[in-house]
Amino acid sequence: MYVCTVVTLLAMASIYTSNDSIPNNTQPVGSNPVIIANVDYLGEQRTNSCTHRDLGFLGQLTGRWYAVYGDTLWCKASVTEPSQDPEGFHGMVRDSIAECSDSALRVKFTQLNEDSPVAHPKQFIPCNEAWGKTLTTGFGGTSLCPVDDDNSLIFYLVNQNPDGLVGAGAAQVQLSNDSPTVVKRYGENGWWWNATHEARYGLHLWLGRYEFLHEKPGIRDSMNTGGDVTVLETKHTLNHVQQGDCFAIRTAPAPEGPWSDDVKVYTPTPIDSGFTYAPGVHPYLDSAGKTLTISYTNKNHIQVIKVTLE
Ligand SMILES: *[C@@H]1O[C@H](CO)[C@@H](O)[C@H](O)[C@H]1NC(C)=O
Ligand SMILES: *[C@@H]1O[C@H](CO)[C@@H](O)[C@H](O)[C@H]1NC(C)=O
């Protein structure tokens, strides 16, 4: 991977000396080596609380894996099983974080409130009222992106409902009392890039960081970008994209492409004809890469499949 990446970068540098030779990376190139042997539906993900939520982007802090969720709706007080939750609003946070376990069917929120008998997750990126943030302020977050042994970054988009997008920002995250904790948010108002005229997600920065961080053989990392997931591995980059209602894999030697055609993986059954989205790979469950365990959102349920590759 290391040699491969250096060669790719040198090649790209010469390509960009002439506009004519910039490849059109929206076009599939080459063949896709992935062959799906089997897909098993494993079930719905459970937690140490009771919530409905979406996303669950997977990333690392201090070598441990965490899932970052979007809007996290608390079940009614004392309800322990999400399927038994009565209709209605019972409280929420705009994002939350949970530590992964040896099964994608089980995660553990690391910051719970005082609710009894069922404690509910706290908001991971805290609302700062001095910046005009309230519970109505949406945070479109990415996963944790490690920058060194102790620190990770998370990128997010501040959505000042109902006024719309404000800006994109980055926060530094460290472990505190064994719990991922935002220790700093960059920018005067908690964000860096003004959403009216600048990039909204900071994705390129994130991709670049990942590209250079983990160039050790056998290590694979997942990057989640809204509906997309990219897994870097030693030989190929796998990209799991939502395509209509199905999930597919495409491969590339590097994040900038060129990308292969898609191989269809799985078509979830949408609950109440809703959307299925945000597939995320749990690479820590199989370092050999023979299987891919993928969680995704289906109407605020997090469902899990296991894909076996040939
Ligand atoms: C790249 O390919 C896409 C899809 O076919 C096409 O819509 C687009 O115009 C192409 N871009 C360039 C610069 O050729
Ligand atoms: C963002 O930029 C726009 C101009 O493009 C400006 O009107 C607005 O005040 C800026 N927002 C903030 C919060 O600085």
CA distances from 207 to 22, 225, 254, 290 (A): 19, 10, 10, 24
Query: Among 165, 196, 198, which is best to mutate for testing ligand 2, by the most ligand atoms less than 8 A from CB?
Result: 196
Distance of CA 194 from the midpoint of ligand 2 (Å)? 6
Are the C-beta atoms of residues 193 and 202 closer than 8 Å to each other? yes
Q: Is 26 in the pocket of ligand 1 (CB under 6 A)?
A: yes
Distance of CA 165 from the midpoint of ligand 2 (Å)? 11
Distance of CA 197 from the midpoint of ligand 2 (Å)? 8
Query: Among 165, 194, 200, which is best to mutate for testing ligand 2, by the most ligand atoms less than 8 A from CB?
Result: 194
Return the pLDDT at 135: 81
Determine the residue type at 251: T
Closest ligand to residue 132's CA: 2
Phi, then psi, of 168 in degrees rounded to 5: -110, 145
Q: What is the pLDDT tens value at each position of the chain, 310 positions in all?
A: 222 111 222 223 333 344 556 667 678 888 888 889 999 999 999 999 999 999 998 889 999 999 999 999 999 999 999 999 999 999 999 999 999 999 999 999 999 999 999 999 999 998 888 888 888 888 878 889 888 999 999 988 888 888 888 888 889 999 999 999 999 998 888 888 888 887 665 443 333 333 322 222 333 333 433 333 344 333 334 444 444 467 877 776 665 667 777 788 888 888 888 778 888 888 889 877 788 898 999 999 999 999 998 8
Which H helix or E strand runs over 226?
A: none
Burial of 106 (0-12, 13-18, 19+ CB in 10 A): middle
Please state the atom number of ligand 1 nearest to the C-alpha of residue 22: 13
Return the pLDDT at 253: 66
Ligand 2 first shell, C-beta below 6 A: 194, 196-197
Q: Is 24 in the pocket of ligand 1 (CB under 6 A)?
A: yes
Return the pLDDT at 128: 82
Protein residue with its CA nearest to atom 10 in ligand 1: 24
Phi, then psi, of 11 in degrees rounded to 5: -60, -40
Could you tell me which residues are beta bridge partners of residue 237?
A: 232, 252
Protein residue with its CA nearest to atom 7 in ligand 2: 196
Protein residue with its CA nearest to atom 14 in ligand 2: 194
Protein residue with its CA nearest to atom 11 in ligand 1: 24
CA nearest to 154, candidates 239, 68, 228, 233: 68
Protein residue with its CA nearest to atom 4 in ligand 2: 196
Return the pLDDT at 240: 45
CA distances from 153 to 58, 80, 180 (A): 13, 32, 11
The domain locations on the chain are 6-309
Q: How far apart are the first and last CA of the chain?
A: 21
Closest ligand to residue 26's CA: 1
Could you tell me which residues are beta bridge partners of residue 57?
A: 68
Distance of CA 23 from the midpoint of ligand 1 (Å)? 10
Distance of CA 55 from the midpoint of ligand 2 (Å)? 29
User: Strand 96-100 and strand 301-309: pairing?
Assistant: unpaired
Protein residue with its CA nearest to atom 14 in ligand 1: 24
CA distances from 196 to 156, 158, 189, 190, 199 (A): 15, 12, 15, 16, 9
Which H helix or E strand runs over 9?
A: helix 2-15
Q: Is 196 in the pocket of ligand 1 (CB under 6 A)?
A: no
Phi, then psi, of 296 in degrees rounded to 5: -150, 170
Return the pLDDT at 200: 64
Report CA 206 to chain centroid distance, whole Å. Answer: 12
Return the pLDDT at 4: 18
